[in-house]
Chain A
Amino acid sequence: MLVVTRKKDEKLMIGNEIEVQIIKIGKDSVRIGVKAPESVSVHRWEVYELIREANLAASRSQLPKGSLFKNLIADSSSTDDEAEKPS
């Protein structure tokens, strides 16, 4: 991990297109600004962790057997008569 010390208003460049700036330094927290191309998503670490964990749980899914699921969807909260199907 690269560790760099920056003062308020100073910046970091990640690659050629991502700019990180220290906006404000508080007692217990730091306000950070990120400029990045639209193709690069920026999220709090916890959000990534949540998604990773959900994917991991999904990869351990049990293969559903029989028509259990058809009933499950019929009982679901969706009030659709016909759901849009991907073509």
Chain B
Amino acid sequence: MKLETPSFGVLEYQEKAIIHIKEGMLGFAGCKRYILIENEEIVPFKWLQSIDDQYVSFPVIDPHIVLRNYTSAVTLEDLHNLEIEQEGDVIMLVVAVIPENPQNATVNLRAPLLINHRRMIGKQVILTNSSYHTHQPLSGN
């Protein structure tokens, strides 16, 4: 299947690569199907690209790069509805804001994207633990 994207040109992908986010990302309720683009130019980021709207995409990153023990922030309640059968089913990504000056990049630790990669379903979850920031700077000061 093919998708024309503003950032990566024409992408070819397989149906089994589609991640279904039932309720969409907050603020983008109409976009429920995404593919995760991995490209060495953007490492360590990946790009969550909407299939429903080619102009909707988000840089995402493994939160453990920013905060080693981030996993402990996610509760069982947060994992509900993702049909998790075992620990290895879940991958966590956080949405990043990359402005013109990448030194000012931030990540949203408050609402990670949890993906059951066995079932290819995902959900943006607002953590019950509210001590995390929506705009956590990437680079230490």
Question: Which residues does A use to contact B, with CB under 8 Å?
Answer: 38-39, 41, 43, 47-48, 50-59, 61-66, 68-70, 72-73, 75-80, 83-87
By a CB distance below 8 angstroms, the chain B residues around A79 are 68
Contact of A39 among B57, B81, B126 (CB under 8 A): B81
Contact present for B66 and A55 (CB under 8 Å) = no
- Chain A to chain B: the 3 pairs with minimum beta-carbon distance, closest first: A77-B140, A52-B27, A86-B91
Main secondary structure of the interface of A (DSSP, over half): loop
Question: How many chain B residues touch A (Cβ–Cβ < 8 Å)?
Answer: 50
Query: In the complex, A59→B7 CA distance in Å?
Result: 12
By a CB distance below 8 angstroms, the chain B residues around A83 are 44, 62, 64-65, 68
Q: How far is the CB of A42 from chain B (nearest CB, A)?
A: 10
B28 within 8 A of A: yes
Number of A-B contacts (CB under 8 A): 128
List 5 A–B pairs whose Cβ atoms lie within 8 Å, in order of A's numbering: A38-B77, A51-B111, A51-B126, A55-B26, A58-B58
B51 within 8 A of A: no
Query: In the complex, A54→B110 CA distance in Å?
Result: 10
Contact present for B62 and A63 (CB under 8 Å) = no
Contact of A76 among B56, B65, B80, B117 (CB under 8 A): B65
B92 within 8 A of A: yes
Query: In the complex, A47→B133 CA distance in Å?
Result: 11
Contact present for A48 and B62 (CB under 8 Å) = no
Contact present for A55 and B42 (CB under 8 Å) = no
Contact present for B135 and A54 (CB under 8 Å) = yes
Contact present for B80 and A38 (CB under 8 Å) = yes
Contact present for B62 and A72 (CB under 8 Å) = no
By a CB distance below 8 angstroms, the chain A residues around B59 are 58, 61, 64
If A50-B110, A57-B97 are given as contacts, then 16 extra A-B residue pairs at C-beta distance below 8 Å, sorted by A number, are A38-B81, A47-B110, A47-B126, A48-B126, A51-B108, A51-B134, A55-B25, A55-B26, A59-B28, A61-B96, A62-B99, A83-B68, A86-B62, A86-B91, A87-B88, A87-B91
Contact present for A72 and B103 (CB under 8 Å) = yes
